[in-house]
Amino acid sequence: MTNSTTLFPLRPAVFAALAVLSAGCSQESSMPTDTPAPAPPAALDWPALQSAIAADPQIETRVAEMLGRMTLRQKIGQMIQAEIKSITPDEVRTHYIGSVLNGGGSWPARNKQASVGDWLTLADAYYTASMSTDAADPIPIIWGTDAVHGHSNVVGATLFPHNIGLGAAHDPALIERIGAATAQSVRATGIQWVFAPTVAAAQNPRWGRTYESFAVDGALIRDYAAAYVHGMQGTLREDGKVIATAKHFIGDGATELGRDQGVAQISKTEMITTHAQGYFGAIEAGVQTVMASYNSWTDPAAAIEYGKMHGAKALLTDALKNAMGFDGFIVSDWNAVGQLPGCSNRQCAAAINAGIDMIMVPDDWKAFIENTLKQVESGEITQARIDDAVTRILRVKLRAGLFEQKPSDSAFAGKPDALVHRELARQAVRQSLVLLKNEAATLPLKRDQRVLVVGEAADSVPHQSGGWSITWQGTDTSNADFPNADTLLSGVREQVGSERVSYSADGSAIASSDADVIVAVIGEAPYAETNGDILSSFTLAHSQRDPADLALLQAAQASGRPVVTVFLSGRPLYVNDLLNLSHAFVAAWLPGTEGKGISDVLFGSSPDGTAVDFTGRLSFPWPGNACPERKDSTSLFEVGQGQSYASPSTAAPLPVDIPDACGPATALPIFNMADAAPFALEMRHQEQSRALGADLNAVIEWPAESPALRVATVQMNTQQDAKDVTWLAPASLVASAGSGSNLNALAHAQAALSFDIRIEQAATAPVHFEMRCGERCGVALDLSALLQRFGVGEQHTVKLPLACFAQHGVDMGGVNQPFGLIAEPPFRASVTRIRIVASAGSDSDAINCADLPLIRSLRQP
């Protein structure tokens, strides 16, 4: 089915967008005027666009002159973007590097608490280095950062609601002000370039980046993208502005089943009317850079397979640059070039030839330079393509005034105050909230009520902020990492006075409370790309993914008191059961650091007495089905819905239908970048154990006194997805859970325990693989012969049929440790993508049980 990723039928808004668009299009659409039902529109084409930042002949002349004086090595250096953890200022100088970035959760000197001054000092150091090369014309470096909801990697910065909340606010002027405020925050740290806005149109809430998307419809995104870019860039010549990026080109929100980095299977018309709209708005507003996307695109109607966007010349060069007239530069995404066929993170002519101008090659930049040099010398990449890429980069640097201003020259540079925009963010929070239910005028709350607040999220800035907040996934932080912030709990206390507020994070105080009303704050724990995806076999029911939230609301309802639920989430989820348990229900998205924006609206006025009503309206449909891909699936609330105090309405109890799963479990995830609940990766040594935890920056040596294991985070398939484990003493790396999982269905489906492994240092002693089904139940098999066949540095996917364990007595009805590597030094390996995959046990590359000698079998008594 071609449109299986589109959960919702084409809405009138889409047709409106189409009509507006076709007016400015090179190819007219043929909308019939005299028939009642509109026929499907003719295929559209990429429109020619006019940028607000016009070509400047003086700049073009200067670029051409400089280009003429550059060596090939200097040109290739300009095309490189390295990560601050992997490059020093002096290397920037000697290699003529054009750009650096700090990834999500990367800070100067790896110091999470780095001050504005620390950031600025490093920015000046890179800048000065870039201006001290021996080139005829030294070229200033440009630093890029993911300030995706405020300057989100920097301690003390105000974090605005993520884009999904801004979409609900429906206020382009607000978005423009947020773009401008973010630009000033970024300038405070000396950085001149932001990888935002994301202009994706997320079509399936399973996608873990849904919250980075403003809306499901292209038309809104077009307006917001333009406003954001305008606020962030201005004319580029005023102080306090930075270069913006429209990302990720193109179709990242269209992938099948909402899979991150997946395949969009849609027509060109749908790509243009929905997913390209943000680029149109951003380019017209003058956006200077576009980031290519990890996803692929197949247009089934036209039988065109574009493949991965980083290699798609038809889109990067023909559509974006030539047809739409984009004259800035295209940056690749994090190590994304390595995903193209024939490429690695160390070389990729195909991406450059397709139109990538700057390569985000965080770690392997040295090899990338040398290999690109050879590819130009051999003719695999033309000089003309290199010249075009460098022309674009120099053009943008000149337009942005980088040659005239070092980072510390900005009036905002080094000013901690420039990070702080609390009133603006609080206003944005107020405008972003969507009231989905309000029975018996439970809201607004009254100032003389005694309030019991429940839920851990009520007093958690990390929960309010979600992913891309100090750390990449938004995990491994606490309120202490957000010094300029207020939780919702503090907002409630301010409204009614602390003496009238009690707080019970786990809800244990509900039964004994004498409060007049309960405010329950629940929702999703932080996540970001890939990690946040909800697999297609899982339902969208929040209560299934987080049973503790359900239990909390059940206890609250049982108390007989009015229950106000504030739902923090990165996407609309199935919550029929939770709505039934609540008298009032507020979709609060991921509001960021200003939790008091929520309490303002819950009480109907800010503490100074200004009246506030709910004005937020859904920019995404809200699912009424726990399995939204089902044929009969309908939305519970449509785009545009949202109640207010001014126009109250009542709601009947909702039907609740939560199946165990949305489809046959085809895979059970165990670990991929992060633990998949209920499993957790842990180290074991003698009688001790320790979980690896969520910190992707940590290098763990454990136990501290005399380490048996060293574990660091590395990349195998996607960013920071793998653990690099060195054995320093006999020890094991296991994935285990508190209770057993029933794998019988998977075992019957010929499943295999599968994982990716790269041997970093070969073992000389045996390596065993252990699966356990309780204290006294388990099997260890010898992996040695298998691992010896793998060369050091090669990556392999190992598939161990569950049958090999079952035949020796593992009880598949209760597996509590599906994975365990037992080894001793010397041995070092990187592992990830640990999972159980149906039918993989019968794949031709599955391991034969005969090649897995039994070491021991423990059977239950």
* Site membership for ligand BGC, residue 482 (CB under 6 A): no
Q: Out of 529, 577, 594, 675, pick the active-site residue.
A: 529
Q: What are phi and psi of 736, to 5 degrees?
A: -140, 165
Among candidate residues 171, 333, 600, 721, the one labeled active-site is 333
Q: How far is the CB of 105 from ligand BGC (least distance, A)?
A: 5
Element (H, E) at 464: helix 461-465
The residue whose Cβ lies closest to ligand BGC is 103
Give Cα separations from 196 to 149, 178, 279, 329, 418 (angstroms).
9, 12, 12, 14, 19
Is residue 22 at the binding interface for ligand BGC, with CB under 6 A as the rule?
Answer: no
**H/E element holding 438?**
strand 434-438
From residue 447, alpha-carbon distances to 523, 660, 837 in Å are 26, 42, 55
Return the residues of window 25-64 that contact ligand BGC according to CB under 6 A.
none
Q: How far is the CB of 335 from ligand BGC (least distance, A)?
A: 8
Closer to ligand BGC by Cβ: residue 146 or 388: 146
Q: Is the dihedral of CA 837, 839, 840, 846 positive or negative?
A: positive
- Give the residue, chosen from 70, 130, 146, 271, that forms a contact with ligand BGC under the rule CB under 6 A: 146
Residues 282-311 touching ligand BGC, rule: CB under 6 A, are none
Q: How far is the CB of 539 from ligand BGC (least distance, A)?
A: 26
Does residue 600 bind ligand BGC (CB under 6 A)? no
Assign residue 503 a region: left if phi > 0, alpha if psi is -120 to 50, beta otherwise? beta
Which residue of 29, 51, 106, 726 would you call a contact of ligand BGC, by CB under 6 A?
106
- Asked if 531 and 472 touch (Cβ cutoff 8 Å), the reply is no
CB of 164 to ligand BGC, least distance (A): 15
Distances (CA, A) of 187 to 298, 428, 510: 40, 22, 47
Closest CB to ligand BGC among residues 696, 780: 696
> Does 270 contact ligand BGC by CB under 6 A?
no
Q: What is the DSSP string of 201-252?
A: ----TTSTTGGG-S-SSHHHHHHHHHHHHHHHHTTS-STT--B-EEEEETTG
**720 touches ligand BGC by CB under 6 A:** yes
Q: Give me the least distance between CB of 752 and ligand BGC, in Å please.
A: 28
- 105 binds ligand BGC, rule: CB under 6 A: yes
Q: x/- contact string, 681-700, with ligand BGC (CB under 6 A)? A: ---------------x----
Task: Establish if 247 lies at the interface with ligand BGC (CB under 6 A).
Answer: yes
Cβ closest to ligand BGC, residue 105 vs residue 251: 105
Give the total of residues touching ligand BGC (CB under 6 A): 14
Position 249 contacts ligand BGC (CB under 6 A): no
CA 615, 619, 620 angle in degrees (round to 5)?
135
Among positions 785-814, residues that touch ligand BGC (CB under 6 A) are none
Q: HSE-up of 160 (CA within 13 Å, CB side)? A: 35
Binding mask of the shown chain, residues 552 to 591, with x at each position contacting ligand BGC by CB under 6 A: ----------------------------------------
Residue among 127 and 468 whose Cβ is closer to ligand BGC: 468
CB atoms within 10 A of CB 561: 17
CB of 42 to ligand BGC, least distance (A): 34
Ramachandran region, residue 315 (left: φ > 0; alpha: ψ -120 to 50; beta: rest)? alpha
Which pair of structure tokens corresponds to residue 347?
Answer: 């070389």
Enumerate long-range contacts of 553-559, CB under 8 Å, 24 or more apart.
553/520, 553/522, 553/578, 553/581, 553/582, 554/581, 555/507, 555/510, 555/511, 556/454, 556/507, 556/510, 556/518, 556/520, 556/581, 557/581, 557/582, 558/510, 559/510, 559/511, 559/513, 559/518
Comparison of 333 and 476: residue with beta carbon closer to ligand BGC: 333
Distance in Å, CB of 252 to ligand BGC, minimum: 8
Q: How far is the CB of 261 from ligand BGC (least distance, A)?
A: 9
Contact 77, 96 (CB under 8 A): yes
Only one of the segments 99-107, 420-428, 681-689, 772-780 lies at the binding site for ligand BGC (rule: CB under 6 A); that segment is 99-107
User: Minimal distance in Å, beta carbon 470 to ligand BGC?
Assistant: 11
* Of the candidate residues 124, 176, 256, 333, the single one contacting ligand BGC (CB under 6 A): 333
Minimum gap (Å) between residue 103 Cβ and ligand BGC: 2
Q: Which two tokens stand for residue 359?
A: 């390569």
Per CB under 6 A, 529 contacts ligand BGC: yes
Among 326, 334, 585, 702, contact with ligand BGC (rule: CB under 6 A) = 334
195 binds ligand BGC (CB under 6 A): yes
Contact yes or no for 257/207 (Cβ under 8 A): no
What is the smallest separation between the CB atom of 672 and ligand BGC, expressed in angstroms?
Answer: 14
Q: What is 70-96 written as a DSSP string? A: --HHHHHHHTEEEETTS--HHHHHHTT
Is residue 469 involved in binding ligand BGC (CB under 6 A)? no
Residue 58: CB minimum distance to ligand BGC, A: 32
Residue closer to ligand BGC (CB basis): 130 or 245: 245
Q: Which helix (H) or strand (E) holds 834?
A: strand 827-837
Member of 133, 203, 504, 719 binding ligand BGC (CB under 6 A): 719
Q: Which is nearer to ligand BGC, 368 or 574 (CB)?
A: 368
Question: Residue 680: which H helix or E strand, with range?
Answer: strand 680-685
Nearest to 429 by CA among 452, 400, 451, 461: 461
Measured distance CA(598)–CA(282) in Å, rounded: 30
Catalytic, 529? Answer yes
Q: Is 472 among the residues that bind ligand BGC (CB under 6 A)?
A: yes
Closest to 193 in 3D by CA, of 326, 307, 328: 328
| Distance from the first to the final alpha carbon of the chain | 51
Helix axes 172-188, 422-432, angle to 10 degrees: 150
DSSP letter assigned to residue 44: P
> What does the block give as tokens for 654?
């909702």
Pairwise CA distance, residues 597 & 18, whole Å: 36
CA distance 528 to 210: 10
| Interface pick for ligand BGC out of 41, 77, 98, 104 (rule CB under 6 A) | 104
Query: Which of the ranges 104-112, 401-409, 447-455, 539-547 carries the binding residues for ligand BGC, by CB under 6 A?
Result: 104-112
Residue whose pair of structure tokens reads 């991965």 in the numeric block = 308
Candidate list 41, 47, 98, 103; residue touching ligand BGC; CB under 6 A: 103
- 379-398 positions binding ligand BGC, by CB under 6 A: none
Helices 12-23, 218-233: axis angle to 10 degrees equals 60
* Dist. CA 86–CA 193, nearest whole Å: 19
Which tokens in the block code for residue 62? 């200067």
Using CA atoms, how far residue 741 sits from 38, 551, 659, 812, 819, in Å, is: 52, 22, 18, 8, 13
Rounded to a whole number of angstroms, the minimum distance from the CB of residue 369 to ligand BGC is 20
Catalytic residues: 333, 529
Give residues in contact with ligand BGC (CB under 6 A): 103-106, 146, 195, 247, 333-334, 472, 529, 696, 719-720
